[in-house]
């Protein structure tokens, strides 16, 4: 079966989905709604023209600040469709239209096999501490545009380290559902030429579990890890090098995926949604992350 996929927006994430899905021509037929004219097949410039398509999946990849507008467009023309909205779902908590479609939010790291394994391994375990860190350098993010012109650089476009790196909040809520915020820091502290905040630190707790989460995009050394101390084991997941270390009194076990690529999480997310597997981030969970972000703002 060949699936019709409509991609709305052709920025960096829209191009990423397009480039990934176009490789599987036998599985997907792609349409793109974008003002940027491209000499490729099935690029649409006029918004009403999407009504002529009968897509199996709609992926909203526009600027975060445009997500609610584009969702309303989709709701106007379609019903009983699957919609994947790139994370975070909106720039702020919005009043949703009465949706006639099934909505998912693009937290693709849920499909990383080692994160899935970690969540399964710590299930029902007493966790003493959770440390989450995601650090990178914003000017290295996008090759096609200067970082000062990107959506990350301004609040109006939905930027800021907390929104850009909200994957970490999503999988924190997968690890612990009820979180008590002790204190947090959310500010701009680097010399990056942006009008958004580039540093976030959260100190929280959940029952006996102590939580520290740090996000920043001024670090020249990239990190993306989860460190969990349990009663009888320590888990360390390195999401950049695709390595999970499990240490116990008996010794160290290491699981590494040498050939794994992060692009696989995007592709597996799309396939899971189309096959009705209910693994992707739901509308409800996506809104939970957004409401948590609103608390920090």
Domain end, chosen from 45, 73, 106, is at 106
Do 87 and 214 share a domain, yes or no?
Answer: no
Do 169 and 136 share a domain, yes or no?
Answer: yes
Looking at the domain assignment, is residue 268 inside a domain? no
Residue with tokens 């507008």: 69
Query: What does the buried/exposed string (b/e) look like for 221-238 if buried means 16 or more CB atoms within 10 Å of the residue's CB?
Result: eeebbbbbbbeebebbbb
Looking at the domain assignment, is residue 74 inside a domain? yes
Do 43 and 72 share a domain, yes or no?
Answer: yes
Do 11 and 122 share a domain, yes or no?
Answer: no
- Please report, for residues 43, 93, 138, 188, the alpha-carbon distance to residue 17 in angstroms, rounded to integers and kept in the order given: 14, 26, 21, 31
Residue 23, SS3?
A: coil
Do 242 and 119 share a domain, yes or no?
Answer: yes
Average of per-residue pLDDT values in the chain? 93
Looking at the domain assignment, is residue 39 inside a domain? yes
Is the pLDDT reported for residue 5 higher than 80?
yes
d(CA 32, CA 7): 5
Do 80 and 118 share a domain, yes or no?
Answer: no
Domain end, chosen from 61, 78, 106, is at 106
Q: Tell me the per-residue pLDDT of 65-95, one tens digit each, with 9 for 90 and over.
A: 899 999 999 999 999 999 999 999 998 888 8
Looking at the domain assignment, is residue 275 inside a domain? no
Residue 96, domain extent: 3-106
Q: Tell me the per-residue pLDDT of 212-241, one tens digit each, with 9 for 90 and over.
A: 999 999 999 999 999 999 999 999 999 999
Do 181 and 241 share a domain, yes or no?
Answer: yes
Return the pLDDT at 25: 85
Contacts of residue 200, defined as CB under 8 A and 6 or more positions apart, other chains included, come to 161, 162, 165, 184, 185, 186, 213, 214, 215, 216, 296
- Please report, for residues 13, 114, 283, the alpha-carbon distance to residue 242 in angstroms, rounded to integers and kept in the order given: 22, 7, 28
Do 79 and 150 share a domain, yes or no?
Answer: no
d(CA 183, CA 78): 43
CA-nearest of 163, 197, 172 to 294 is: 163
Looking at the domain assignment, is residue 295 inside a domain? no
The answer to whether the beta carbons of residues 105 and 282 sit under 8 Å apart is: yes
Do 56 and 181 share a domain, yes or no?
Answer: no
The answer to whether the beta carbons of residues 133 and 221 sit under 8 Å apart is: no
Looking at the domain assignment, is residue 278 inside a domain? no
- Indicate the number of domains in the chain: 2
Do 128 and 34 share a domain, yes or no?
Answer: no
Residues in the chain: 297
- pLDDT band (50, 70, 90) for residue 39: low
Return the CATH number at 40. Answer: 3.40.50.720
Return the pLDDT at 297: 76
Residue with tokens 């040498």: 258
CB atoms within 10 A of CB 293: 21
Do 165 and 74 share a domain, yes or no?
Answer: no
Percent over 70 (pLDDT), the chain: 97
Q: Which tokens is 16 given?
A: 């990423």
Return the CATH number at 178. Answer: 3.30.360.10
Q: Tell me the per-residue pLDDT of 128-183, one tens digit each, with 9 for 90 and over.
A: 999 999 999 999 988 778 888 888 878 776 688 998 999 999 999 999 988 999 99
Do 13 and 88 share a domain, yes or no?
Answer: yes
Looking at the domain assignment, is residue 294 inside a domain? no
User: E-assigned strands of 156-278?
Assistant: 180-187, 199-206, 209-216, 218-230, 234-238, 243-248, 251-256
């Amino acid at each position: 079966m060949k699936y019709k996929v409509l991609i709305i927006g052709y920025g960096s994430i829209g191009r990423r989905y397009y480039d990934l899905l176009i490789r599987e021509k036998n599985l997907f037929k792609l349409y793109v709604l974008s003002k940027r004219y491209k000499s490729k097949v099935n690029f649409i410039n006029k918004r009403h023209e999407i009504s002529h398509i009968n897509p199996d999946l709609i992926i909203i990849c526009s600027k975060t600040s445009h997500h609610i507008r584009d969702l309303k467009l989709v709701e106007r023309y379609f019903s009983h469709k699957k919609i994947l909205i790139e994370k975070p779902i909106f720039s702020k908590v919005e009043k949703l239209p009465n949706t006639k479609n099934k909505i998912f939010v693009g937290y693709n790291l849920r499909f990383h096999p080692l994160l899935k394994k970690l969540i399964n391994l710590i299930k029902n375990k007493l966790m003493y501490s959770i440390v989450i860190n995601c650090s990178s350098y914003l000017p290295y993010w996008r090759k096609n545009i200067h970082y000062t012109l990107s959506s990350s650089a301004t609040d109006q476009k939905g930027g800021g380290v907390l929104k850009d790196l909200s994957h970490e909040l999503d999988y924190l809520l997968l690890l612990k559902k009820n979180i008590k915020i002790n204190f947090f820091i959310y500010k701009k502290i680097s010399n990056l030429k942006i009008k958004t905040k580039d540093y976030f630190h959260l100190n929280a707790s959940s029952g006996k579990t102590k939580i520290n989460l740090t996000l920043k995009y001024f670090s020249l050394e990239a990190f993306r890890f989860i460190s969990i101390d349990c009663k009888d084991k320590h888990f360390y997941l390195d999401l950049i090098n695709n390595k999970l270390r499990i240490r116990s009194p008996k010794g160290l076990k290491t699981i590494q995926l040498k050939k794994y690529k992060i692009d696989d999480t995007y592709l597996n997310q799309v396939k899971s949604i189309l096959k009705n597997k209910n693994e992707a981030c739901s509308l409800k969970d996506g809104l939970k992350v957004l409401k948590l972000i609103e608390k920090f703002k």
